[in-house]
């Protein structure tokens, strides 16, 4: 599952003792395991090898440039949803031909940049200039008719030709949190299947934005394979219908959303997803004329990261015991926002309290129910509620597991807490890949004023 394990009662990431690391880096700190990132990427690539997809890691799940660079060097492409993420992709050294640009609200400036004509891409580096190559992204995932018209118009004005995939909603229930369900008709993403047919009839022959792909993303995390089977089956029917009308689809972006093991053994393995999906696509791969894209995020990064946090106080109120830490919803918002489970455990424990698995109720003696909460002035500021824990005292170090995806990427400076540090571990080597912010960093952009002409 990952390379975080207890050795003589002390949690280690690969060959690095995390208690010692926290003493040097301070807390809160995100720690990522390079070997775990590589392991999960390799397993996914091996599972889907038969259809040879372009795997584009979802930048939004864990955007640190050094993490991205680790995966790019492994062969990964990148899935971006903003101009800032495209900037990160460039800094990570990702070839533009391996970048997919999604996102429901692309601005004109972001579109020009993605076509190669912005501050990041450099003028003259369009996606596909007429008669020559360029440095723009190879494919835009399109969310609506107005977006298609906007991108096509900008490409036309720049004299370039870009390629697009229409995001469709197959109206499949991924059985996940309402906030992360994206494949049903009532979500803000993409268009429904009937509207998609009309979309292709209207825009399928646009010269400057070639509409030759279809994009799926039904939600996240999806812990069953059947929703993917339903979504892919319905989408293949759409592809066949379009072919009968003379419109050839050459790219199917399957999206991501594969679950991660927030609890030990809770999600299907990459091979399980592939076993359900690949048979539907086998005849269409290679000479079948369809190329595939995957956009995994949490299935690669979640278990590759932990959040280290220091206990500030232990207090009791009524019948509840509170473990007050220096990390809260500003550092990791998933529990407060989604009610998400993260396994929380002391970094240093007695042998009797080394967890046999990461579960909500470990089968160990001497545990006491606790609420693990943060320092913020919010009642919703918590990392775990009613969680059995070993004895914990002020100054102890806790690890929040499964924090590699949508942890630091969603962190904030609420209550004017500086953002935490990030560390990447490779074997027995640890590197700070984002320094901890200072108070000066908090106010740096507020220094001085600038008169605005009105």
Q: Which of 13, 56, 370, 377 is catalytic?
A: 377
List the one residue out of 234, 285, 227, 267 whose CA is nearest residue 44.
Answer: 267
Residue 370 bears catalytic tag: no
User: What are the beta bridge partners of residue 344?
Assistant: 400
User: What are the beta bridge partners of residue 311?
Assistant: 325
Residues of the chain with CATH 2.40.37.10: 4-31+303-444
- Strand extents, DSSP E, 22-80: 29-33, 54-58, 77-80
Alpha carbon distance 238, 120 (integer Å): 36
pLDDT digits (tens, 9 = 90+) for 194-251: 889 999 999 999 999 999 999 998 876 898 999 999 999 999 999 999 999 999 999 9
The domain over range 4-31+303-444 is classified in CATH as 3.40.50.300: no
Q: Report yes or no: 126 and 100 within 8 Å, Cβ to Cβ.
A: no
Q: Label the pairing between strands 10-13 and 16-17.
A: antiparallel
The pLDDT value given to residue 181: 45
Alpha carbon distance 153, 116 (integer Å): 15
Q: Label the pairing between strands 397-400 and 305-317.
A: antiparallel
| Residue 17 tokens, joined | 């003792």
Q: Report yes or no: 305 and 33 within 8 Å, Cβ to Cβ.
A: yes
The domain over range 34-299 is classified in CATH as 3.20.20.10: yes
Alpha carbon distance 160, 302 (integer Å): 38
pTM score above 0.85:
yes
Average pLDDT estimate for 379-389: 97
Q: Report yes or no: 257 and 220 within 8 Å, Cβ to Cβ.
A: yes
Residues of the chain with CATH 3.20.20.10: 34-299
Q: What are the two backbone dihedrals, phi and then psi, of residue 184, each rounded to the nearest 5 degrees?
A: -105, 160
The pLDDT value given to residue 219: 78
Q: Report yes or no: 4 and 11 within 8 Å, Cβ to Cβ.
A: yes
C-alpha dihedral over 377, 379, 380, 384, to 10 degrees?
100
pLDDT digits (tens, 9 = 90+) for 260-306: 999 999 899 999 999 999 999 999 998 788 999 999 999 999 999 99
């Amino acid at each position: 599952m990952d390379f975080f394990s207890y050795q003589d009662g002390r949690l280690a990431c690969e060959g690095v003792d995390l208690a010692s690391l926290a003493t040097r880096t301070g807390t809160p700190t995100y720690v990522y395991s390079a070997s775990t990132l590589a392991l999960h990427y390799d397993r996914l690539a091996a599972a889907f090898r038969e259809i040879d997809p372009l795997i584009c890691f979802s930048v939004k799940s864990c955007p640190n440039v050094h993490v991205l660079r680790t995966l790019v060097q492994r062969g990964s492409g990148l899935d971006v949803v903003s101009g800032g993420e495209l900037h990160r992709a460039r800094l990570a050294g990702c070839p533009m031909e391996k970048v997919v640009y999604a996102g429901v609200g692309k601005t004109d400036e972001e579109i020009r940049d993605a076509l190669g004509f912005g501050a990041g891409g450099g003028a003259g580096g369009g996606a596909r200039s007429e008669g020559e190559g360029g440095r723009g992204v190879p494919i835009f995932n399109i969310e609506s008719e107005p977006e298609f018209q906007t991108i096509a118009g900008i490409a036309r004005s720049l004299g370039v030709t870009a390629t697009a995939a229409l995001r469709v909603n197959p109206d499949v229930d991924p059985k996940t949190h309402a906030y992360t369900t994206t494949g049903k008709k009532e979500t803000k993403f993409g268009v429904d299947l009937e509207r998609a047919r009309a979309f292709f009839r209207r825009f399928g022959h646009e010269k400057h934005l070639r509409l030759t792909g279809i994009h799926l993303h039904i939600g996240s995390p999806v812990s069953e394979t059947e929703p993917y089977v339903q979504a892919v089956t319905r989408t293949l029917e759409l592809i066949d219908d379009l072919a009968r009308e003379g419109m050839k689809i050459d790219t199917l972006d399957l999206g991501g959303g594969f679950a991660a093991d927030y609890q030990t053994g809770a999600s299907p393995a990459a091979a399980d997803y592939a076993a359900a999906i690949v048979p539907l696509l086998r005849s269409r791969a290679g000479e079948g004329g369809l190329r595939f894209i995957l956009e995994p995020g949490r299935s690669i990064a979640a278990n590759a990261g932990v959040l280290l946090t220091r206990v500030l106080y232990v207090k009791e109120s009524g019948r509840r015991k509170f473990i007050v830490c220096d990390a809260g919803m500003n550092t990791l918002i998933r529990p407060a926002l989604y009610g998400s489970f993260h396994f929380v455990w002391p970094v240093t424990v007695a042998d009797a309290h080394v967890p046999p698995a990461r579960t909500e109720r470990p089968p160990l003696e001497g545990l006491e129910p606790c609420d693990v909460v943060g320092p913020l002035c919010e009642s919703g500021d918590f990392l775990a509620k009613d969680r059995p824990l070993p004895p914990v005292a002020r100054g102890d170090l806790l690890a929040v597991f499964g924090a590699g995806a949508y942890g630091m990427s969603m962190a904030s400076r609420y209550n004017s807490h500086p953002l935490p540090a990030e560390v990447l571990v490779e074997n027995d080597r640890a590197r700070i890949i984002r320094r901890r912010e200072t108070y000066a960093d908090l106010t740096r952009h507020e220094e001085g004023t600038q008169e605005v002409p009105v």
